[in-house]
Amino acid sequence: MIIKKNVMNIQAEKIELVKMLLDTENPRIIESIKKIFIKEKTSDFWDNLSIEQRNEIERASLEIENGEVTEYDTFMQKHR
């Protein structure tokens, strides 16, 4: 099964990384790894969006706030 195989590969990779981490005495490597984890915890999807995507989301939010919405069923009836 492909999913199980991938999970096993991930587990093996994690074990290998732990071994490497335990074997290192280089504080720069340890600090780099810590920074990666901290960045992953604090990263926001918003930071990964393009300017165009951000503008579109902001425009849509304004439309919702202004009541410029269409019910799903109404929209679907027009496009069937």
| pLDDT greater than 90 at residue 57 | yes
Residue 10 pLDDT:
86
- The pLDDT value given to residue 78: 83
Convert the pLDDT of each residue in 44-56 to its tens digit.
Answer: 788 888 999 999 9
Q: Name the residue type at position 45.
A: F
The 3-state secondary structure of the chain, one letter per residue: CHHHHHHHHHHHHHHHHHHHHHHCCCHHHHHHHHHHHHHHHHCCHHHHCCHHHHHHHHHHHHHHHCCCCCCHHHHHHHCC
Query: pLDDT at position 30, please?
Result: 94
What is the reported pTM? 0.43
Amino acid at 73: D
Nearest Cα to 34, choosing from 23, 25, 21? 21
Confidence of residue 3 (pLDDT cuts 50, 70, 90): low
pLDDT at 17 over 70: yes
